[in-house]
C-alpha cells in the first residue's frame, strides 16, 4: 500500500473530564475517500478542528504527505496543503463569487503583500479562480454577491475556494448539509471525480452519499473510533449497528 | 448604475474643497481658505483611520496617538530649528528643521513605528478589548505629552512661522491649502490602489470573515498589522499638517476627543467608502462653522446628527446618496 497522504496518530483532546477525542488514529491514502461518521456529539467536529489546526491536541500527531504538521497553526497547515470546507459555509459574504475564489487563488499564490496593481488585473489568479468556479458549476454566477447566493450555491463556492488552493488533501465537513436530494446527488458525483486529484477525508451525515462514495468508513462514537472498514463491512458490523446505524434507523 | 452615481459623487466631493478655496480666494476670504485647509487635513486623518476601520474593520479608538505623534514630530523639529538648538549632539548630531518634506517624512515614519508597536500588541485582542487597548495607548501618550516639560507640557508648543516648502510661500493661505490638498489627493489615490490590490482583497476579507482568510493560508494578524501601520502613518502625516496649519501643537492632539472626532468623520461620511472621510470632515467643519456661530454647545447638534446617521443611514452620507456599496469589478 502507498504511503498515506494524511496520517493521524493517537490524537487526544479532553475538555475537563470529557474525552472529546480519545486515542484516534486514521489515515487517508492517495485517490481515496475516507468517510468519518458518527452520531451527534461523537466528537467529529472536534477531530476535524484538531486536524485543521484550529484546536490544539493534547497529544498525538498529524502528518501530511509525510511531514509532521502537529505543531503548525491552521494557517500554516492550509499552506502545507490542507484544503478545508466547513459544515456551515464560511465565506466573505460582501464579496462576489469571483472575489471569494480569487482569495483562495491568492492564498495559493502567496503574494498577498502587494499594494499597487489591482488584483483583478492578475490574469493568472483570475484564470485559476475561474477554473475552480467552472468545476463546481458556478462560473455563470461569478459576478454575483455571495450574500445573494442560495445555500446550495454557497456550499459549491466553499468547495471551489478549497479547489483553488490545489491542496494535497481535502478535509470536508458535511458538504451535503442542506443541499436537498438533487443537490446532494450532484455534489456526490463531483466529489467522486475529485478524489483523483486529492484524497478526501469526508465527515458526512448523508448515508446514501457516504455509502456511494467512501472507499473506507470510520465510525466515531464518544471520541473513539469503534470500527474502520469498507461500506459493506461497516453495514454488517454489529457494534456499529448498535451504536449508530440502528439508532439512526430507530429515529 | 449605482457605481456611476458613486463615481459622480466622489468627483463632486473631490472638487468641493478646491472649488471652495478658489471661490474664497476670489472673494478675498482667507478664513474660508483656512477652513477648507482644515477640512482637507482632517479628511486626511480620516482617510488614514478608514484604512484600519473601513477596510480592515479595526475599530481603533486611539488614532489620536498617531495624529499627536505627527503633530509633535513637526513641533519638535521646528522648535529646535526656531531656537537653533540641536535636538541631540551625541552620539551624532540631529538638528531641527523647518523643511516640510523632511518633517512629513519624520512624522510619517515615527507614527508608522508607533502604529507597529501599538498594533502588534493591540491586534492580539479583538472587539471591545481592541477598542479599549487602543484608547489606553492614546491616553498614555496624552498624559506623557502633558507631563513632558521639554516641549511645553500642558501648554503645548508654538511655532512662530509656518514651515517651508521649496519654491513656495507657505504663508499664503491658498498655497498651503494646495499643498495639503495635493497630499490628500495622492493619499486617496494610493488608498484606492491598495483597496483593489491583492492586499486590499485580503484585508477586506479579514474584516468579513477571518476564518475564511486563515483557511486559504493567509494570516489575518499580519494583514491587519500592516494595515494598521499604513493607517497610523497617514493619520500621523495629517497630524504634522494640522500642527503646521495652527502653528501650534498641544497634548489635545493626543486626547480621546481627537480619536473620537476622526472616527466621526469616517462614520458621518460612510465607513469603508474611499471618499467617506472627505465628506465627513467637510460636513464637520461646515457644522462647526455654522452651528458653532450660533451656540458654543453645537456639539449637541452634531451628536443628534451622528445618532441619526448611525440609526438610519449606516452607509453615512455617501451610503445614503448612492445606496449599497457595489463590490469592485
ipTM for the whole complex: 0.92
Model pLDDT, residue A210: 93
Test A145 with B327 for CB contact under 8 angstroms.
yes
Q: Is A175 on the interface with B (CB under 8 A)?
A: no
Locate the domains of chain B by residue range. 2-322
Test B212 with A90 for CB contact under 8 angstroms.
yes
pLDDT at residue A246 is higher than 70: no
Residue ranges in chain B assigned as alpha helix (H)? 2-26, 30-50, 64-83, 100-122, 127-146, 173-196, 198-208, 210-215, 220-246, 256-269, 276-294, 299-312, 316-322
**What structural domains does chain A harbor?**
6-81+167-249 (3.40.50.300), 93-153 (no CATH)
Test B218 with A106 for CB contact under 8 angstroms.
yes
Burial environment of residue B284 by CB neighbours within 10 A (0 to 12, 13 to 18, 19 or more): buried
**Four-residue CA torsion sign, A74, A79, A83, A87:** positive
Residue B157, SS3?
A: strand
- The three cell numbers of residue B278 are 472627505
Tell me the backbone φ, ψ of residue A220, rounded to 5 degrees: -105, 125
Test B205 with A95 for CB contact under 8 angstroms.
yes
Substitution target in B201, B218, B221, B234 with the highest count of A β-carbons within 10 Å is: B201
Q: Is A35 on the interface with B (CB under 8 A)?
A: no
- List C-alpha distances in Å: B85 to B77, B92, B93, B148, B162: 10, 14, 11, 18, 18
Tell me the backbone φ, ψ of residue B273, rounded to 5 degrees: -85, 135
Q: By the 8 A CB rule, do A217 and A229 touch?
A: yes
Torsion region of A247: left, alpha or beta (phi above 0 gives left; psi -120 to 50 gives alpha): alpha
Q: Is A95 on the interface with B (CB under 8 A)?
A: yes
Model pLDDT, residue A248: 54
- Which of B194, B202, B325 lies nearest to residue A103, judging by beta carbons? B202
Size of interface A-B (CB pairs under 8 A): 107
Q: Are strands A169-173 and A200-203 parallel, antiparallel or unpaired?
A: parallel
Q: Cell 458613486 identifies what position?
A: B6
Model pLDDT, residue B327: 45
Residues 212-231 on A with a CB inside 8 Å of B are none
Read off the pLDDT of residues B205-250 as tens digits, 9 standing for 90 and up. Answer: 999 999 999 999 999 999 999 999 999 999 999 999 999 999 999 9
- Which of B196, B212, B327 lies nearest to residue A119, judging by beta carbons? B196
Q: Give the chain B residue nearest A161 (alpha carbons).
A: B216
Residues of chain A positioned with their CB less than 8 A from the CB of B197:
114-119
Q: By the 8 A CB rule, do A103 and A95 touch?
A: yes
Burial environment of residue A52 by CB neighbours within 10 A (0 to 12, 13 to 18, 19 or more): buried
Q: How far is B3 from chain A (nearest CA, A)?
A: 14
Test A94 with B204 for CB contact under 8 angstroms.
yes
* Whole-number Å distance between alpha carbons of B268 and A50: 44
Q: Is A122 on the interface with B (CB under 8 A)?
A: yes
Q: By the 8 A CB rule, do B128 and B122 touch?
A: no
Model pLDDT, residue A180: 84
Q: Give the chain B residue nearest A160 (alpha carbons).
A: B216
Model pLDDT, residue B292: 86
Tell which wins on pLDDT, B295 or A117: A117
- Which of A79, A102, A112 lies nearest to residue B199, judging by beta carbons? A112
Residues of chain B positioned with their CB less than 8 A from the CB of A95:
204-205, 208, 327
Q: How many CA atoms lie within 13 A of B108 on its CB side?
A: 13
Model pLDDT, residue A247: 56
Tell me the backbone φ, ψ of residue B16, rounded to 5 degrees: -50, -55
Spelled out in words, what is the top-level CATH class assigned to the domain B2-322? mainly alpha
Test B198 with A84 for CB contact under 8 angstroms.
no
Q: How far is A251 from chain B (nearest CA, A)?
A: 34
Residues of chain B positioned with their CB less than 8 A from the CB of A107:
213, 216-218
Residues of chain B positioned with their CB less than 8 A from the CB of A91:
209, 212
Q: How far is B190 from chain A (nearest CA, A)?
A: 8
- The three cell numbers of residue B200 are 486590499
Residues in Cβ contact with B193 at an 8 Å cutoff, skipping those fewer than 6 apart: A115, A116, A118
Q: Give the chain A residue nearest B205 (alpha carbons).
A: A92
Q: By the 8 A CB rule, do A221 and A38 touch?
A: yes
H or E element that contains A130: helix A123-136
Residues in Cβ contact with A84 at an 8 Å cutoff, skipping those fewer than 6 apart: A48, A52, A78, A162, A170, A171, A172, A173, B215
Read off the pLDDT of residues B3-41 as tens digits, 9 standing for 90 and up. Answer: 678 889 999 999 999 999 999 999 999 999 999 999 999
Q: Give the chain A residue nearest B214 (alpha carbons).
A: A75
Residues of chain B positioned with their CB less than 8 A from the CB of A115:
193-194, 197, 199
Q: How far is A177 from chain B (nearest CA, A)?
A: 19
End-to-end, the C-alpha distance of chain B in Å comes to: 13
Tell me the backbone φ, ψ of residue B318, rounded to 5 degrees: -70, -40
Q: What is the mean pLDDT of residues A148-174?
A: 95
- Which of A99, A113, A115 lies nearest to residue B327, judging by beta carbons? A99
Q: What is the DSSP string of A165-203?
A: T--SEEEEE-TTTT-HHHHHHHHHHHHHHHTTTS-EEEE
- Which of B193, B202, B325 lies nearest to residue A106, judging by beta carbons? B202
B309 band by pLDDT with thresholds 50, 70 and 90: confident
Test B216 with A94 for CB contact under 8 angstroms.
no
**Among candidate residues A75, A84, A207, the one with its CA nearest the CA of residue B213:** A75
Test A118 with B193 for CB contact under 8 angstroms.
yes
Substitution target in A92, A141, A160, A167 with the highest count of B β-carbons within 10 Å is: A92
Residue A205, SS3?
A: coil
- Which of B198, B213, B223 lies nearest to residue A119, judging by beta carbons? B198
Q: How far is B327 from chain A (nearest CA, A)?
A: 6
Q: How far is B301 from chain A (nearest CA, A)?
A: 33
Read off the pLDDT of residues B177-210 as tens digits, 9 standing for 90 and up. Answer: 999 999 999 999 999 999 999 999 999 999 999 9
* Whole-number Å distance between alpha carbons of B185 and B191: 10
Residues in chain A: 251
* Whole-number Å distance between alpha carbons of B241 and B163: 10
Tell me the backbone φ, ψ of residue A26, rounded to 5 degrees: -155, 160
DSSP state of B53: I
H or E element that contains A224: strand A224-229
Q: By the 8 A CB rule, do B113 and B69 touch?
A: no
**In terms of C-beta distances under 8 Å and separation of at least 24 residues, what long-range contacts does B322-327 make, across chains too?**
B322/B2, B322/B5, B322/B6, B322/B9, B323/B2, B323/B5, B324/B2, B325/A94, B325/B272, B325/B273, B326/B2, B326/B3, B326/B6, B327/A94, B327/A95, B327/A96, B327/A99, B327/A145
Model pLDDT, residue B324: 64
Test B204 with A78 for CB contact under 8 angstroms.
no
Residue A82, SS3?
A: strand
* Whole-number Å distance between alpha carbons of B89 and A58: 56
pLDDT at residue B329 is higher than 50: no
- The three cell numbers of residue B151 are 516641549
Residues in Cβ contact with A3 at an 8 Å cutoff, skipping those fewer than 6 apart: A66
Read off the pLDDT of residues A28-83 as tens digits, 9 standing for 90 and up. Answer: 999 999 999 988 888 999 999 999 999 999 999 999 999 999 999 999 999 999 99
Read off the pLDDT of residues B63-73 as tens digits, 9 standing for 90 and up. Answer: 999 999 999 99
Model pLDDT, residue B328: 46
**Four-residue CA torsion sign, B40, B44, B47, B49:** negative
Amino acid at each position: 500500500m502507498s504511503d498515506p497522504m494524511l496520517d493521524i496518530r493517537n490524537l487526544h483532546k479532553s475538555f475537563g473530564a470529557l474525552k472529546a477525542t480519545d486515542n484516534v488514529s486514521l489515515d487517508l491514502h492517495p485517490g481515496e475517500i475516507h468517510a468519518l461518521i458518527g452520531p451527534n456529539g461523537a466528537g467529529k467536529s472536534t477531530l476535524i478542528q484538531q486536524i485543521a489546526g484550529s484546536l490544539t491536541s493534547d497529544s498525538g500527531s498529524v502528518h501530511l504527505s509525510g511531514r509532521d504538521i502537529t505543531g503548525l497553526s491552521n494557517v500554516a497547515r492550509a499552506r502545507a496543503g490542507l484544503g478545508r470546507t466547513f459544515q456551515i459555509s464560511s465565506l466573505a459574504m460582501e464579496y462576489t463569487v469571483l472575489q471569494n475564489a480569487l482569495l483562495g487563488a491568492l492564498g495559493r499564490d502567496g503574494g498577498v503583500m502587494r499594494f499597487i496593481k489591482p488584483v483583478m488585473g492578475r490574469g493568472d489568479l483570475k484564470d485559476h479562480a475561474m477554473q475552480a468556479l467552472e468545476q463546481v458549476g458556478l462560473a455563470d454566477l461569478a459576478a454575483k454577491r455571495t450574500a445573494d447566493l442560495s445555500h446550495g450555491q454557497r456550499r459549491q463556492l466553499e468547495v471551489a475556494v478549497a479547489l483553488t488552493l490545489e491542496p494535497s488533501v481535502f478535509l470536508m465537513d458535511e458538504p451535503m448539509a442542506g443541499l436537498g436530494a438533487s443537490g446532494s446527488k450532484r455534489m456526490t458525483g463531483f466529489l467522486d471525480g475529485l478524489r483523483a486529484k486529492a484524497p478526501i477525508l469526508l465527515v458526512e451525515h448523508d448515508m446514501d452519499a457516504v455509502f456511494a462514495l467512501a472507499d473506507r468508513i470510520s465510525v466515531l462514537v464518544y471520541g473513539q473510533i469503534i470500527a474502520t472498514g469498507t461500506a459493506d463491512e461497516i453495514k454488517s458490523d454489529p457494534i456499529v449497528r448498535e451504536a449508530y446505524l440502528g439508532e439512526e434507523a430507530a429515529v | 448604475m449605482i457605481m456611476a452615481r458613486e463615481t459622480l459623487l466622489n468627483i463632486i466631493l473631490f472638487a468641493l474643497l478646491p472649488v471652495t478655496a478658489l471661490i474664497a480666494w476670489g472673494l478675498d476670504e482667507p478664513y474660508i481658505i483656512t477652513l477648507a485647509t482644515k477640512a482637507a487635513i482632517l479628511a486626511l486623518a480620516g482617510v488614514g483611520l478608514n484604512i484600519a476601520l473601513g477596510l480592515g474593520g479595526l475599530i481603533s479608538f486611539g488614532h489620536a496617538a498617531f495624529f499627536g505623534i505627527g503633530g509633535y514630530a513637526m513641533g519638535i523639529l521646528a522648535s529646535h530649528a526656531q531656537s537653533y538648538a540641536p535636538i541631540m549632539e551625541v552620539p551624532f548630531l540631529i538638528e531641527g528643521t523647518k523643511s516640510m518634506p523632511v518633517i512629513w517624512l519624520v512624522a510619517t515614519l515615527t507614527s508608522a513605528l508607533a502604529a507597529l508597536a501599538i498594533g502588534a500588541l493591540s491586534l492580539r485582542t479583538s472587539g471591545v478589548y481592541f477598542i479599549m487597548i487602543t484608547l489606553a495607548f492614546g491616553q498614555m501618550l496624552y498624559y506623557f505629552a502633558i507631563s513632558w516639560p521639554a516641549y511645553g507640557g500642558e501648554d503645548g508648543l508654538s511655532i512662530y512661522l509656518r514651515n517651508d516648502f521649496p519654491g513656495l510661500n507657505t504663508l499664503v493661505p491658498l498655497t498651503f491649502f494646495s499643498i495639503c490638498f495635493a497630499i490628500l489627493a495622492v493619499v486617496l489615490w494610493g488608498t484606492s490602489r491598495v483597496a483593489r490590490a491583492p492586499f486590499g482583497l485580503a484585508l477586506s476579507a479579514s474584516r468579513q470573515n477571518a476564518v475564511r482568510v486563515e483557511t486559504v493560508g493567509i494570516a489575518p494578524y499580519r494583514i491587519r498589522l500592516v494595515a494598521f501601520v499604513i493607517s497610523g502613518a497617514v493619520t500621523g502625516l495629517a497630524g504634522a499638517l494640522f500642527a503646521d496649519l495652527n502653528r501650534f501643537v498641544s497634548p489635545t492632539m493626543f486626547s480621546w476627543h481627537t480619536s473620537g472626532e476622526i472616527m466621526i468623520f469616517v462614520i458621518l461620511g460612510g465607513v469603508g467608502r474611499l471618499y467617506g472621510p472627505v465628506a465627513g470632515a467637510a460636513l464637520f467643519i461646515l457644522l462647526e462653522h455654522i452651528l458653532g456661530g450660533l451656540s458654543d454647545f453645537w456639539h449637541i447638534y452634531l451628536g443628534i446628527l451622528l445618532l441619526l446617521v448611525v440609526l438610519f443611514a449606516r452607509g453615512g452620507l455617501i451610503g445614503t446618496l448612492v445606496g449599497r456599496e457595489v463590490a469592485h469589478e
